[in-house]
Structure formats: structure tokens, C-alpha cells
């Protein structure tokens, strides 16, 4: 039995691979989204360039976004940061980083697919409501996940008290 290719070994290489994807025009939540920006593939520099469409909302954080190529939905995603930061993360999906094991499979798949398809990518966005919450007497109003915020507070206090992170905290 042949081994199934994993996402880090394959990506879209031809625009016809989008033919069976859903049309954004017919998407039931289309009315909730606005055109935020366009991504322009830059194969020479192995990255995506950003063309801002909505300057007023471009720096908003806490977004759900839809990537649309030639009218077809390529990806639905979210970011707690700005779309600029998310695209910068996708731009880390370079082949040399994937081969060295440092690029995430998602960033690799998205970047390499978009470069290979070499078509404008329209980013439609929905700005999520910003919750207000309290943790240990402090009030926060942001798109940051509450459990992650709580973890960060506790680790910061731990470092302040003990001068270092707990031994098992390698990524926070």
C-alpha cells in the first residue's frame, strides 16, 4: 500500500485544482465579510506581497478571514493578530525552512500553493467581537485567547518570583 503524502510533501500546483471548491459568491456568510486586502504572489522572493484595500480596518486584530482565488474559496482561517502578521507567518513557509523542519506544515502548504498558483488572492475578513474579561483583578478587552492570557500572567508572575520559567515551559 502506497504511503499517503502528507501536507509538507504536497501543495496545489495548478489552478484547476480549485475547480471543485465552493464559489465565494454563493457562500452563505459572504454578506458578513468585507474585502480587506489582496495578496500578490512573489515567486522570485518566495513570499506574498500585500496590497491593502481597506486601510481603515487593515490593522484590526481578531479576524476570521477567507482566501479567495478566481472566485473559489481556498482557505478559511483566523488570527488573533492582524492579517499583516498572519501573512508574515505564511511567508515563513519557505522550502528551505520546511526542509530544515522549522516551517509549519500549514505555512508551507499555503505559501507554496499560492506561489505555484500565481494568482491574486483576495482576503475577505470578519472582525470578531472583542470580549471583556477579568483575570486576577485585571480587566482585559482583546482578541487574545483567555486561557493563553491566563497562562502568560501566571508565568510572568512565576518569573518575577523565581527568576525563571518552570522547567517544563519551553514555548511560553
CA distance 83 to 125: 9
CA distance 34 to 52: 12
Q: Is residue 171 part of a domain?
A: no
Q: Is residue 40 part of a domain?
A: yes
- pLDDT band (50, 70, 90) for residue 169: confident
In this predicted structure, what is the pLDDT of residue 171?
63
Q: Is residue 84 part of a domain?
A: yes
Tell me, yes or no, whether 57 and 92 share the same domain: yes
Tell me, yes or no, whether 107 and 147 share the same domain: no
Tell me, yes or no, whether 20 and 96 share the same domain: yes
Task: Render pLDDT for 118-163 as a digit per residue (tens, 0 to 9).
Answer: 999 999 999 988 889 999 999 999 888 877 888 889 889 989 988 9
CA distance 90 to 110: 7
Tell me, yes or no, whether 82 and 146 share the same domain: no
Tell me, yes or no, whether 109 and 155 share the same domain: no
CA distance 68 to 30: 11
Full domain range(s) for residue 121: 15-127
pLDDT at 6 over 60: no
Distance of CA 112 to the CA centre of its chain: 14
Tell me, yes or no, whether 142 and 70 share the same domain: no
Tell me, yes or no, whether 78 and 112 share the same domain: yes
In this predicted structure, what is the pLDDT of residue 144?
82
Q: Is residue 7 part of a domain?
A: no
Tell me, yes or no, whether 158 and 81 share the same domain: no
Tell me, yes or no, whether 90 and 136 share the same domain: no
In this predicted structure, what is the pLDDT of residue 34?
98
In this predicted structure, what is the pLDDT of residue 3?
46
In the beta sheet, which residues pair with residue 76? 66
Tell me, yes or no, whether 72 and 26 share the same domain: yes
Average pLDDT, the chain: 89
Would you say 39 and 87 are in contact if contact means Cβ atoms under 8 Å apart?
A: yes
CATH number at residue 65: 3.40.1440.50
Average pLDDT of the residues in 53-62:
95
Tell me, yes or no, whether 143 and 112 share the same domain: no
Give the number of domains in the chain: 2
Q: What is the pTM of this model?
A: 0.82
Average pLDDT of the residues in 22-43:
96
Task: Render pLDDT for 88-104 as a digit per residue (tens, 0 to 9).
Answer: 999 999 988 887 887 78
For residues 121-133, one letter each, b for 16 or more C-beta atoms within 10 angstroms of the residue's C-beta and e for the rest, the string is: bbbbbebeeeeee
Tell me, yes or no, whether 32 and 89 share the same domain: yes
Say how many C-beta atoms besides its own lie within 10 A of residue 18's C-beta.
19
Amino acid at each position: 500500500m502506497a504511503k499517503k503524502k502528507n501536507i509538507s510533501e504536497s501543495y496545489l500546483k495548478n489552478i484547476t485544482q480549485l475547480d471543485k471548491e465552493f464559489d465565494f459568491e454563493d457562500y452563505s456568510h459572504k454578506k458578513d465579510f468585507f474585502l480587506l486586502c489582496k495578496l500578490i504572489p512573489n515567486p522570485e522572493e518566495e513570499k506574498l506581497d500585500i496590497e491593502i484595500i481597506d486601510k481603515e480596518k487593515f490593522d484590526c486584530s481578531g479576524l476570521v478571514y477567507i482566501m479567495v482565488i478566481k472566485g473559489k474559496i481556498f482557505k478559511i482561517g483566523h488570527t488573533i493578530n492582524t492579517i499583516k502578521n498572519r501573512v508574515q507567518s505564511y511567508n515563513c513557509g519557505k522550502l528551505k525552512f520546511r526542509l530544515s523542519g522549522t516551517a509549519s506544515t500549514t505555512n508551507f502548504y499555503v505559501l507554496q500553493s499560492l506561489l505555484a498558483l500565481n494568482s491574486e488572492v483576495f482576503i475577505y475578513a470578519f472582525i470578531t467581537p472583542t470580549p471583556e474579561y477579568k483575570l486576577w483583578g485585571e480587566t482585559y478587552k482583546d482578541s487574545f485567547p483567555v486561557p493563553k492570557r491566563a497562562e502568560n500572567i501566571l508565568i510572568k508572575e512565576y518569573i518575577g518570583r523565581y527568576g525563571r520559567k518552570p522547567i517544563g515551559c519551553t514555548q511560553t
